[in-house]
Structure 1
């Protein structure tokens, strides 16, 4: 603990005022979005009418692109083989995301919402939609392994396309039948899921890869990392704030008009994010992974692809359905909880042995700015 204190003070000193107060700005963005959606006539309709393709919101896509591109441009793609060769990391991620995650959400949904089938179904859908977007920035804020995050997000995206519909059928129809519980159908195509993955992850990932490849080829690595990256880095938090404002503006009226329902939905979500993050973080340490990879494993397990979950709920059950509302409440709880877990993660660095090649120093945090 005494060894990490000087480093933590150095990190804080290197952070800009904007970054030090990021949780405050995120909270303000959530409030602004909720108020705008509630009190500005026609805003929800106007935002909903702007689509990249059917079911994919143009404003949310723009926000996610601005948020994710700088982080993905910083990834050292020539180092990805060090991640793909780490079988413990890859297998742990797949098991936690596709076995543990959906099962935990299923259990929590039935425990907390046995009398509210629409909300329960919406939460199960959220649990099936593994994270491909905001986890990139939570991982970066927590000083996780960027290369590992890129690989795990891509890996889980492939599994999302292949497994989402089948797991939806299993958890909403087959398993409840075995347990003597109510059954619900889920009609979603693999193309609908692939479309969401390709747009929300594929475009910023390709842009980040091409930036590094051609930037280094034209100007060299030193120019790219000391001149180019510091210029684009600061825009990522603004993309995050813009995304939050738009997301909560789209559903501000639904959230603010049903506060008791939101509270019922929030409880299992809160339990889910904490259980998934803490359990996976402990798993990483138990497997003797570094702090950086344990952090990345934890955030990729705890986050969810709320864009896909909301789109599936709306397409299957309707925009005013309880299932859609449960999907919307997901990011309302996920954003502040995972911001808090960023700070928990940073504080937990003292539990890990120092790693000179990957340790978090003031310089490495400055690079993230």
Structure 2
């Protein structure tokens, strides 16, 4: 790997709020686990009303988490992303060929004797990046516009490919290899509904906010005054989502620590492997640090809300498959937060970006 480029600018420092993100996330996890154990009937109350197959409080938290990030995207610059064939092709290959195959292999290596957890882990591997990945990309100073495009592109592929890949990895491939089969049935509409709710709504809100805000008050006001005001809402939405998510499965997680540990090991390997491979690939094909980081987080992140919804819908809320789905974000959140700091450290190994052209004046 090349040495740091002379004269490269140092990565911008995270705000105090963002630097303490691991602390806030740890406290949110603990609060959720405590609520799940201490408040009888809380899980049933939280699951009583659902949106897109997901508990309504979780759905609201996800929408709140996504909106500020998507309101920051410069939609007038998306053509610079769609024209980068290296980035788009690499993302599709990593997400739809490499990622599911790696998770399938790890699930069978580490959980061959635990079929329910193994199946749940494979489902997590099939549910590709959405939602939280944009938060990690933003914290690591990745390319925000590229992240929005890749998440949208992978969401479309998810609608088309999730059911087919589920049949392949849970039924066809195990049959070819002489392994146990555990097929699932999930309709394309169920997947499309999840994508439309958890990506479509905040994406439309973010786009309209920028369009109307810049028209009414200008780009300077929008980016220097408005965005800093709504920015912390993404963190609040993330923490709220984590509290509710872990409250729903608090009893299962705290009463089965050895099972959680068994599920955690292949997940740790998966996140580190996918992130590291993607960063190395981005460097090898001469992507910038910003786009290599975006490629890495969109390849390593998973759509845990879809995985949990599918596992609960097919196997039940108390199933081992659902527990494996919930353990996914339990491991993913702190690991990818840690990789944000590793990404900022690795920035020195990428060439310094060329000076940006002056932005056109706001209409």
Q: Contact 2:5 / 2:348 at 8 angstroms: preserved in 1?
A: no
> Cα offset for 1:56?
2.2
| Aligned equivalent of 2:361 | none
| Aligned equivalent of 1:136 | 134
> Cα offset for 1:17?
2.7
Q: Contact 2:94 / 2:278 at 8 angstroms: preserved in 1?
A: yes
2:334 pairs with one of 331, 336, 340: 336
Q: How does 1:24-103 map to 2 (within 5 A)?
A: 24-53=23-52, 55-103=53-101
Measured in 2, the distance between the counterparts of 1:39 and 1:210 equals 42
Q: Contact 2:124 / 2:328 at 8 angstroms: preserved in 1?
A: yes
Measured in 2, the distance between the counterparts of 1:46 and 1:62 equals 15
Alignment partner of 1:175 is 2:173:
yes
2:10 pairs with one of 4, 7, 11: 7
| Aligned equivalent of 2:199 | 201
- In structure 1, the residue corresponding to 2:51 is in which secondary structure? strand
- In structure 1, the residue corresponding to 2:10 is in which secondary structure? helix
Q: Contact 1:125 / 1:309 at 8 angstroms: preserved in 2?
A: yes
1:184 pairs with one of 182, 185, 189: 182
| Aligned equivalent of 1:293 | 291
Q: Which moved more, 1:203-212 or 1:35-44?
A: 35-44
Q: Contact 1:4 / 1:350 at 8 angstroms: preserved in 2?
A: no
Measured in 2, the distance between the counterparts of 1:257 and 1:266 equals 15
Alignment partner of 1:108 is 2:103:
no
> Cα offset for 1:234?
1.9
Q: Contact 2:73 / 2:145 at 8 angstroms: preserved in 1?
A: yes
- For structure 2, list consecutive stretches of 5 or more residues without a partner in the other structure: 357-363
Deviations 1:329-358 (A, max 9, x none): 100000000000000000000000111446
Q: TM-score, normalised by structure 2?
A: 0.94
Measured in 2, the distance between the counterparts of 1:4 and 1:64 equals 40
- In structure 1, the residue corresponding to 2:180 is in which secondary structure? coil
| Aligned equivalent of 1:362 | none
Measured in 2, the distance between the counterparts of 1:125 and 1:171 equals 9
- In structure 2, the residue corresponding to 1:202 is in which secondary structure? helix
> Cα offset for 1:35?
1.2
> Cα offset for 1:166?
0.4
Change in CA separation of 1:5 and 1:288 when aligned onto 2, cut-off 3 Å: closer
Deviations 1:195-249 (A, max 9, x none): 1111111100110001111111122111111121111112211111111111111
Q: How many correspondences in the alignment?
A: 353
Measured in 1, the distance between the counterparts of 2:287 and 2:6 equals 20
Measured in 2, the distance between the counterparts of 1:170 and 1:234 equals 41
Measured in 1, the distance between the counterparts of 2:156 and 2:267 equals 25
Q: TM-score, normalised by structure 1?
A: 0.93
| Aligned equivalent of 2:163 | 165
| Aligned equivalent of 1:303 | 301
Q: Contact 1:109 / 1:124 at 8 angstroms: preserved in 2?
A: yes
Measured in 1, the distance between the counterparts of 2:105 and 2:232 equals 40
